[in-house]
Amino acid sequence: MTDIKIRVNNKDVVTQAMPDTPLLYVLTNDVQLQGPKFGCGLAQCGACSVLMDGQEIRSCVTPIGTIGGKSITTLEGLPALYASQHKLANPPALHPLQQAFIDTQAPQCGYCASGMIIKGAELLAQNPHPTEQHIREAMDGHLCRCGTYPRIMSAIQKAAKSMQEAAL
C-alpha cells in the first residue's frame, strides 16, 4: 500500500487506500465529509456526485488511483469554488445554489441534495442563463426519491437569477 495524495476542497489529503478504492469511500471515511452519499453504487442516481476539475463525476465508481493531479470539490467546498470562479475576496457562507435550495425548500429527505447541488453548480458555472430545458437536460440522471423535482428546478432558476443580479 502506498500513499495517494489528492486535493479535496483546496486541501491536500493523503490516503493509504488501495488505488481501486472508490473516491466516495475516501471522501466519507478518510476525509470525513458528509456531502457525497452512497446511493446506488452504480453511478446511476447522482447522490455521490462531486466535481473533478469543475466537471461532475460519480465518486462511487471513480477509483482513487485515477484522481492524481486533479482537484475534487464536494458540497462542502462549493462556497470557496464560487468565490474563486467569481473572483471574490472571501467565500460566501453558502454557494448561491445551496442558499436557493434552502429558500425554496427543495430537499425533502435531503439524500439527493448534495448531488443535485453539485450538478446544478456545474451547470450554472457553464451556463449562467439556463433555460428550463437546459436545466432538465443537465439534471437528467439525478434521481430524487421524494420527487421534489419542481422545487429543485425552482432552486436552480432562483440561484441563476441571484447570481446574475450579483454580477451587475
- At 166 the pLDDT is 86
Domain of 32 in residue numbering reads as 4-74
pTM over 0.85: yes
Domain count, the chain: 2
- CA–CA distance, 125 with 51 (Å, rounded to integer): 12
Last residue of a domain, one of 47, 74, 101: 74
**What is the average pLDDT across 39-62?**
97
User: pLDDT-based confidence at 168, cuts 50/70/90?
Assistant: confident
- CA–CA distance, 47 with 137 (Å, rounded to integer): 17
Mean pLDDT of the chain: 95
Q: Do residues 96 and 66 share a domain?
A: no
Q: Do residues 85 and 142 share a domain?
A: yes
Q: Do residues 93 and 151 share a domain?
A: yes
Q: Do residues 56 and 132 share a domain?
A: no
Task: Write the CATH number for 23.
Answer: 3.10.20.30
The candidate with the shortest Cα–Cα distance to 26, out of 7, 10, 42, is 7
User: pLDDT-based confidence at 167, cuts 50/70/90?
Assistant: confident
Q: Do residues 56 and 105 share a domain?
A: no
Q: Do residues 12 and 69 share a domain?
A: yes
Q: Do residues 100 and 151 share a domain?
A: yes
Q: Do residues 59 and 95 share a domain?
A: no
Q: Do residues 66 and 87 share a domain?
A: no
Last residue of a domain, one of 28, 57, 74: 74
Q: Do residues 84 and 107 share a domain?
A: yes
Name the E strands within the chain.
Answer: 4-8, 11-15, 49-52, 55-58, 71-73
Please name the residues in contact with 125: beta carbons below 8 A apart, sequence gap of 6 or more.
Answer: 54, 85
